[in-house]
Structure 1
């Protein structure tokens, strides 16, 4: 899992990038939770989403938003972070000019950023939004949502309550030409404490449906206990 540094709008950005083994493989960009609440690219959910796409032959990139880890700059309330994400996707595409498609996955705050990037990049053909904070951030820009994707949330999430996520999804489901799937994890809170395995089952089932099953999944190396205390 090579460490990478690439240029962003506010200076260098720190990431982890794994190239695909095959040419024309799609790209996946994974976005982490809120920087001001401990969110980093080493968040346990982000880490496992990274491997979920790696196992399907994607070129995968996760990175730290500005002001996190070794990434330069400072928190910019979403506007700068969206620019960071666009730069990250540009960088991954520069290494993979023949990539046939792109997916975006985001966790909490990262889901909000990811959905905004989705609206700006027509090459994105799928998304996964984990615990989207529909009560805390404005998702009205999804009019209409240009790609099909999956929302995953816990029924015990008090940070991003299920009723708000459900309201967002119902609005998106009325649009023609896209399919919005939803998975609700029983007993899961905003951090999916003790429920990450269940989360990954749902994510992988969705990717199987969209992309086909994987033949020989690669086990993710052990990750140190996460320090993220993301609240959005």
Structure 2
């Protein structure tokens, strides 16, 4: 899984990239949790998501937001990080100009950024949001949500109450043109300690069930 460096809005951004051997493979961008709370592209949930997508033939990029690791710049309360994600998607699309589909997946803060990116980039055809911080961030921009996707949450999440995520999922599910699956993993905390395998199986199962949207 080679290291990559690409240009972002405030300087260089550091990433890890897996290139699929499948011609015209779909692409996936993976976004990490809050930079000021220890989040990075090496987070275990982020790594698990990267692995799930790569095993299913995607070309996959995960990267550090500005100010994390070797990525240049400083934390910008989400606005700058959204710009970073857009630059990362530009780079990923440049390497995979003939990709059949484009997905975004994010964990916690990364899920919030990913959903905003989804609203701004119509080429994104699917999403995975793990533990979206529905109690801490404003998700009202999803009006309407432009694509079907999966929301995953743990029922023992000590940071984001299950009720807040369930309310978000229910709101998105009222739309007629998309389908938002909501899965709660019993016993899982915010960081899915001891439940990463269950998380990977949940996301992988969703991708397998929606293979017709990927190829």
TM range (shorter): over 0.9
TM-score by length of 1: 0.90
Counterpart position of 2:59: 59
Give the Å deviation of 1:22: 2.1
Give the Å deviation of 1:158: 2.1
Counterpart position of 1:152: 152
Runs of 4+ in structure 1 displaced over 4 angstroms? none
Residues 189-221 of structure 1: per-residue CA shift (max 9 Å, x gap): 111111111111111111110117xxxxxxxxx
Instruction: Specify the SS of the correspondent of 2:164.
Output: helix
Cα distance in 1 for residues equivalent to 2:176 and 2:120 = 19
- Figure out how many residues of one structure are paired with residues of the other and give that number: 212
Counterpart position of 1:203: 203
- Structure 1 vs Structure 2 CA RMSD: 0.8
Residues 122-142 of structure 1: per-residue CA shift (max 9 Å, x gap): 111111000000000000000
Give the Å deviation of 1:23: 2.1
Cα distance in 2 for residues equivalent to 1:201 and 1:99 = 25
Q: Which moved more, 1:86-95 or 1:22-31?
A: 22-31
Counterpart position of 1:19: 19
Cα distance in 1 for residues equivalent to 2:201 and 2:52 = 10
Counterpart position of 1:218: none
Runs of at least 5 residues in structure 1 that lack an aligned partner in the other structure = 213-232
Runs of at least 5 residues in structure 2 that lack an aligned partner in the other structure = none
2:182 is aligned with 1:175: no
